[in-house]
Structures are given as C-alpha cells and as structure tokens.
C-alpha cells in the first residue's frame, strides 16, 4: 500500500479551498479519518503539514481548525501576495519567452471562453493555471509555490468572489492585457494590472 498521507493532504487542502468546511469549525480527526477512509495517523500528518503551511490553525490540546473569515487577515495575506507578485513583474517580463507568451495568451483566451460558455467549474482552475504560468516566467519555483499557498489562504470561499459576472469578465479582460504587457516588456504596466487584478477581489 503506497503512502496515503500525502494524497490525503492534497485532498484536504483542495476541500479546504473549495470551502467544504465552515470557517472557524474544528477539523476533528475522527471525522476526517471517516471522510477520507484512512487511519488517524495519516490524518494527523496531513493536519500538521497544512498547519505548517498556515492553511489551518492549531491549538494545543484543542486541535486544528479552519480559518474564520476574517477580513483583516485576508487583507493582510492579500497585501503579501500583492507585494510579491508586483515585485516580480520585472522578472516576469525579463524571463518570458515567446512560446511562453503564446501559452499565456492561450490560457487567457481559454479563460475568456469559459466565462462565455462555461463550464464554470473550470474557471478557478484555468485562472490558477494562467497565474501560475505567468509567475513561472521568473523561474522562481519557490515563489510560485508560496503564492499558491497564499492564494489558498485568501480564498477560502471562492463562490463569493466569482459570483459577480461583471468582475469575471473584467478579470478575463485583464488577463489579456497582462499578456500584452508582458509581450511589450512593459513591467510597470504589468505590475499595475496585477495590482488591480489582485485587489479587485477584496
């Protein structure tokens, strides 16, 4: 039997992101071992790993809990993302090769297509893929992984963000403009676009 704790960690993180757990509630180990059909040891390992990544909270002798939807906290994490992503705008432009730009444009257009005719459950994934590839232009994989974690900390309830159709369409438009900025090597414009793109979700 292969190591199951890692897959459990991923599944739990994904369920956290999807907002399947009510904010502030306790992640009881027996519930999780029941839900994912594993033993308690893998559950504990997954919880500790996610706590280390600050995706969940931990209190001694009380357990692990889902972050409550704290506007102040999400604003702070968003500020971190803002500093990192805009701070790397220059490196993105410097490291973007033509074929990467083409792939970015394809992802941006794919996102726009999904905004038009669905399937809407793919919106989050393609959006994530676009931003990952954009940041990957820097070649800094550690930064990309870190931003991924920060994103998981800011969007515990994606529904509220993606509900508004006008915002989604504006996001799609901004994606395309970002590609243009990268193509023209205009890092200041890219940073500006990223800024408003990140902050619009508050």
Task: Determine the Cα–Cα distance for residues 193 and 198; give it in Å rounded to an integer.
Answer: 9
86 binds a second copy, rule: CB under 8 A? yes
Least distance CB 54 / DNA (angstroms): 17
40 binds DNA, rule: CB under 7 A? yes
Q: Which is nearer to a second copy, 108 or 152 (CB)?
A: 152
Binding region for a second copy (CB under 8 A) out of 42-50, 105-113, 122-130, 165-173: 42-50
27 binds DNA, rule: CB under 7 A? yes
Contacting residues for 122 by C-beta, under 8 A, at least 6 apart: 114
Biggest distance spanned by C-alpha atoms of the chain = 55
Name the strand (E) or helix (H) holding 75. Answer: helix 71-87
38 makes contact, choosing from a second copy, DNA, none, with CB < 5 to 8 Å by partner type, with: DNA
For residue 140, the 8-state DSSP code is: -
Task: Determine the Cα–Cα distance for residues 190 and 160; give it in Å rounded to an integer.
Answer: 26
Query: Site for a second copy (CB under 8 A): which residue of 11, 35, 53, 189?
Result: 53
Q: Residue 58: beta bridge partners?
A: 64
Least distance CB 141 / DNA (angstroms): 22
140 binds a second copy, rule: CB under 8 A? yes
41 binds DNA, rule: CB under 7 A? yes
135 binds a second copy, rule: CB under 8 A? no
15 binds a second copy, rule: CB under 8 A? no
Q: Beta-carbon neighbour count of residue 78 at 10 Å?
A: 19
Task: Determine the Cα–Cα distance for residues 132 and 33; give it in Å rounded to an integer.
Answer: 32
Task: Determine the Cα–Cα distance for residues 147 and 76; give it in Å rounded to an integer.
Answer: 14
* Prior bond of 133 cis (ω within 30°): no
38 binds DNA, rule: CB under 7 A? yes
51 binds a second copy, rule: CB under 8 A? yes
Rg of the chain over Cα atoms, rounded to whole angstroms, equals 18
Q: Which residues bind a second copy (CB under 8 A)?
A: 2-3, 6, 44-45, 48-54, 60-61, 73, 76-77, 79-80, 82-84, 86-88, 91, 138-143, 145-146
Q: Which residues bind DNA (CB under 7 A)?
A: 1-5, 26-30, 38-42, 44-45, 58, 60-64
């Amino acid at each position: 039997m292969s190591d199951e704790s890692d897959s459990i960690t991923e599944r739990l993180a994904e369920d956290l992101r999807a907002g399947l757990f009510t904010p502030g509630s306790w992640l009881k180990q027996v519930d999780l071992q029941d839900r994912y059909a594993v033993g308690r040891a893998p559950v504990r390992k997954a919880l500790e790993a996610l706590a280390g990544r600050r995706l969940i909270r931990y209190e001694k002798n009380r357990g692990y809990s889902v972050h409550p939807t704290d506007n102040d906290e999400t604003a702070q994490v968003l500020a971190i993302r803002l500093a990192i992503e805009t701070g790397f705008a220059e490196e993105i432009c410097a490291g973007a090769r033509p074929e990467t730009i083409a792939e970015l444009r394809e992802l941006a257009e794919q996102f726009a297509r999904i905004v038009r005719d669905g399937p809407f459950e793919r919106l989050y994934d393609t959006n994530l893929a676009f931003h990952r590839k954009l940041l990957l232009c820097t070649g800094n994989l550690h930064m990309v992984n870190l931003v991924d974690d920060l994103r998981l900390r800011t969007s515990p309830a994606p529904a509220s963000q993606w509900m508004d159709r006008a915002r989604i369409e504006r996001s799609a438009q901004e994606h395309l403009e970002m590609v243009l900025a990268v193509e023209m090597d205009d890092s200041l414009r890219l940073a500006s676009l990223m800024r408003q793109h990140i902050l619009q979700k508050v």
